[in-house]
Amino acid sequence: MTNIAHSYDVASSNNAPSLGRCGGFVAEHPQDAFHLPARRTSVPEARRRVTALLQEWGADQHVRDDVELVMSELFTNALRHTASEKVGCELTLFGAHVRIAVTDEGGGGISAPQVQPGSVDKECGRGLFLVGALSENWGTRPDPGGGRVVWADLPYAATDD
């Protein structure tokens, strides 16, 4: 597993294709963030947004597919296991990795997310197994607002265009 530091240099997704020229400085790590209502109908919207953003950044199709699946799993877990009214999503491109971070507002009283034993064979509970299989590293941290951030780092590759 890799141990990758998280950067907070921000560039809007509109500037990301040019590697983040933003307000007179060049952001080292293109980044975009958005919030959506904590509803099932927001899951496909989150997938669409991250796929479009990664396409702008030049990610190849395999990367877009993997990030879309991981985002979907993390967003769905935030809906199912917390009492959030909104869910935050953040993507950061750095080096050969893309970090997905999903922030909930807490509530629900559950412990930190973890892969459930035997989750591969169950209809529910496979999400974090998939996150672990597709990412090089993933984890959780408390959010200063009282919720939790669940993040995953996936390999990034650009298209050969």
Q: Which CATH architecture has domain 29-155?
A: 2-Layer Sandwich (3.30)
113 close to 127: Cβ distance less than 8 angstroms: no
Least confident of 3-17, 26-40, 65-79, 86-100: 3-17
Taking each helix axis as running N to C, give the angle between helix 127-134 and helix 61-81, from 0 to 180 degrees, rounded to the nearest 10.
150
In tens, the pLDDT along 88-130 reads 999 999 889 999 999 999 875 555 555 555 544 455 557 788 8
Q: How far apart are CA 68 and CA 44, in angstroms?
A: 9
Pick the more confident residue, 83 or 118: 83
Q: How far apart are CA 33 and CA 16, in angstroms?
A: 13
pTM of the model: 0.74
Hey, where are the domains in the chain? 29-155
Phi and psi, residue 58, nearest 5°:
90, 20
Q: How far apart are CA 73 and CA 89, in angstroms?
A: 12
Least confident of 12-26, 81-95, 114-128, 146-160: 12-26
